[in-house]
A and B are shown apart, each in its own frame.
Chain A
Amino acid sequence: DAKTTQPPSMDCAEGRAANLPCNHSTISGNEYVYWYRQIHSQGPQYIIHGLKNNETNEMASLIITEDRKSSTLILPHATLRDTAVYYCIVRGGSGTYKYIFGTGTRLKVLA
């Protein structure tokens, strides 16, 4: 599976957009990008996923570059409850279904 690289930590002001980057330069053509977040002492929560097109749901938007080597998760109006560790995961579309978690980005939303 492709390896992902994320900044270890970021701060964001409450009400502002939080943009969390992820590099996955070794991604292959059929690998999806998944984003999860983990709030302290809980299991990871699914946020969004994509293959090549940009995606949006009620939680966030996912922007994937044209070469698919990086992506950005956007939380449009961050709240204090968005403080969490955010994980970007890339895995194959067939065969093994396992996720390999990287170190993630610790996002702190500031009041």
Chain B
Amino acid sequence: GAVVSQHPSRVICKSGTSVKIECRSLDFQATTMFWYRQFPKKSLMLMATSNEGSKATYEQGVEKDKFLINHASLTLSTLTVTSAHPEDSSFYICSARFTGGAKNIQYFGAGTRLSVL
């Protein structure tokens, strides 16, 4: 149980295009999901908290117009990188907060590697 699916696993796009990444909780409902970014050999950096039915909360320094987050259902959150540029190339990881049973454990997707040419 508590599986989080992230799609696509890898995407290559041209500079200036937009890319959408999906994060789904497969066997539980998640009112809260999170989006992280990770650079090579670095730790995960929280970008934003995605709340079902309301606006996302972005961490300081994260451009909300660049990274659009939509959490339209209890099992799906999407991250859209708008007008992507090479500096947006990174590993993006989502997680979903599991509220059943144990205390607020986050389960993570496998990540999406974005390469912007």
Contacts and interface: CB of A to CB of B under 8 A. Distances in A.
Contacts of B34: 98-99
B117 interface: no
Interface in B17-32: 32
Contacts of B76: none
Contacts of A108: none
B46 A42 contact: no
B44 A101 contact: yes
For this complex, into which size category does the number of interface residues on chain B fall? 20 to 34
Secondary structure of the B side of the interface?
strand
Nearest to B10: A41
A43 B103 contact: no
A41 B111 contact: yes
Interface string B80-112: 000000000001010101000011111111110
B113 interface: yes
B43 A49 contact: no
B45 interface: yes
Contacts of B77: none
A44 to B, nearest CB: 5
Contact of B111 (A43, A91, A97, A98): A43
**A-B residue pairs, 6 tightest by C-beta:** A43-B108, A101-B44, A101-B43, A44-B108, A43-B111, A43-B110
Given A41-B91, A87-B43, 12 more contacts: A38-B44, A41-B111, A43-B6, A43-B93, A44-B93, A45-B108, A46-B107, A91-B104, A98-B34, A99-B34, A101-B43, A102-B43
Interface of B: 2, 4, 6, 32, 34, 36, 43-46, 49, 91, 93, 95, 97, 102-111, 113
5 contacts: A44-B95, A97-B49, A97-B97, A98-B49, A101-B44
